[in-house]
Amino acid sequence: MTRIFAGPARALAMALILVGVPGSGVAQNDGPAATTNVPPARIANGTRFGQWVVSCEALAVNETACVLTQRLARASDGAFLAEMLAFASADGTRRYIGARVPSGVYFPHGFAVRPAEGEAEETRFVWQSCSRDLCEALIELTEEELEALEGAEGGLIAGYRPGLLAQPLIFTMSVEGAGAGLDALAASAGAGAAE
């Protein structure tokens, strides 16, 4: 499994994705005072949601950071293209998609995605930071924007320029399953604290 937190971007990523907030679900039936605590189901590392895989890291006792991740590689030779991350803010009100690409990327060109079919505009990510090996770009999406990307006919076309003199690197990807995965992670955030 690829370790998804490394270098100076660790603090930023952790601040954005801490989801170890205690909580519990409550179920009721028709009987008087028949309330029982039903903890949400835990989501295990490696659980798949469409194109995404859950990756969690224990930070402290009852404090875990989980994200959805997918690693994109060129089919012909397995060369690394990008690692995509999907996660929510600690309070669950904001959703993000991040992209990690090899260092040396040409910043002015940006990292962008657009639907493979149709005339929709591209969605541009904002570069956040670089470590020795990777540079990270990030975008905050509303629930509607995320649904639009998930429902893009034919998936998405993504691209960035890997260096100043390099040609743009263009590839296809999908964010299918991101919404369901983020909903499941939010529902399970308090599973450990509720027991």
Q: Is 10 left (phi over 0), alpha (psi -120 to 50) or beta?
A: alpha
Question: How high does pLDDT run on average in the chain?
Answer: 79
Could you tell me what percent of the chain has a pLDDT over 90?
Answer: 58
Assess if residue 193 is contained within a domain.
no
For 149, counting Cβ atoms within 10 Å of its Cβ (0-12 exposed, 13-18 middle, 19+ buried), the class is: buried
Total-model pTM = 0.75
Assess if residue 1 is contained within a domain.
no
Assess if residue 147 is contained within a domain.
yes
62 pLDDT tier (thresholds 50, 70, 90): confident
Assess if residue 34 is contained within a domain.
yes
Q: Say what the pLDDT of residue 190 is.
A: 55
Residue 151 has a CB neighbour count (10 Å cut-off) of 11
Residue 90 belongs to a domain with what CATH number?
A: 2.60.40.1880
Q: Is the model more confident about 13 or about 152?
A: 152
58 lies in which domain range? Answer: 9-188
Assess if residue 194 is contained within a domain.
no
Q: Say what the pLDDT of residue 112 is.
A: 95
Task: Decide the pairing of beta strands 35-38 and 25-28.
Answer: antiparallel
Q: Say what the pLDDT of residue 40 is.
A: 57
Assess if residue 39 is contained within a domain.
yes
Assess if residue 73 is contained within a domain.
yes
Structural tokens at position 3? 């370790």
Instruction: For residue range 79-125, list pLDDT tens digits in order.
Output: 999 999 999 998 888 999 999 999 999 988 899 999 999 888 899 99
Assess if residue 195 is contained within a domain.
no
Tell whether the model's pLDDT for residue 180 goes beyond 60: yes
Domain count, the chain: 1
Pick from 53, 31, 32, 35: nearest CA to 44:
53
